[in-house]
Homo-oligomer: A and B are copies of this chain.
Amino acid sequence: MTITPYSIWKDVTRIRETSPLVHSITNYVVMNTTANALLALGASPIMAHAWQEMDDIVNIADALVINIGTLSDPWIESMFRAAQKAKERNIPIILDPVGAGATGYRTRTVRDLIKAVPPTIIRGNASEIMAISRGDAKTKGVESVDLSEAAVDNAQQLFSTTGSVICISGEIDYIIGGDDSIKVKNGHSLMARVTGLGCTATALCGAFAAVNDHYQVAASHAMAVMGITGEIAAEISHGTGSMQMNFLDTLYQLSRENMDRLN
């Protein structure tokens, strides 16, 4: 299975034309960042977390993104409810297990969620993916301490038990699914120094999965767009502040030619 500049661009164009509504139940830290990234790409963000409106929101959404970065019990309840409704409606569900492995609360929540409603795509760093599948990865806060390659076996196992496409972010991104695994090598080290770019990758998976139901490819397209955008933005940035700004500008201005950076 491969992705190409052409296949990525086709999906970007679809997103721009159809402006899929991506419902995010996400963490407080990154809400503004991910909403702006979805808008820059051409999608429509909505954020809502009260259980009272989960059904209504999921009913009009084209994808559901669940991110456990700043959990609490009421939000967990809404995550389950939204996931259940998304499953009924057959729209893609993207899960970001932020900090899984760092606390029992997070690890349990993620495992319970996956058991109740297997997500379409799970995107995390190596330590998070390892924590979900075997529970003994060393997680240092919300950052990865394992190389993404080390988690490939865990991801394969997780895919076979859940059917979820597993996307491991890192210097190289591995996207595991029913077809041969896909590697995306784009990206820039400055990205790890801006908060919320991992969560942004997950949000973009939602937009791509809304327009492409080959979910392994959709996730790979999202990761390629993240990496390419990050590379271009880093070249014109002087630090993490301008990186954050240039990332959005670049995403907004993305062109077919930019896709040729895929490697």
Are B247 and A244 in contact, CB atoms less than 8 angstroms apart?
no
Asked if A97 lies at the interface with its beta carbon under 8 angstroms from chain B, I say: no
Asked if A181 lies at the interface with its beta carbon under 8 angstroms from chain B, I say: no
What residues of B have a CB within 8 angstroms of the CB of A102 in the complex? 46, 56-57, 60
> How many identical chains are in the complex?
3
Chain A residues 164-199 with CB under 8 Å of chain B are: 193-196
- What separation, in Å, do the CA atoms of A57 and B142 have in the docked complex? 11
- What separation, in Å, do the CA atoms of A247 and B238 have in the docked complex? 11
Nearest-CB residue, chain B, relative to A32: B29
Are B195 and A39 in contact, CB atoms less than 8 angstroms apart?
yes
List the interface of chain A (C-beta within 8 A of B).
21, 27-33, 35-36, 39-40, 44-50, 52-53, 56-57, 60, 69-74, 99, 102-106, 140-143, 193-196, 237-242, 244-253
* Cβ contacts A to B, 29 pairs, < 8 Å: A21-B141, A27-B47, A28-B47, A29-B32, A32-B33, A32-B196, A35-B196, A36-B244, A39-B194, A44-B140, A44-B142, A44-B143, A46-B99, A46-B102, A47-B70, A48-B99, A50-B71, A53-B103, A53-B106, A56-B103, A56-B105, A57-B102, A72-B74, A237-B249, A239-B248, A239-B249, A239-B250, A241-B248, A244-B245
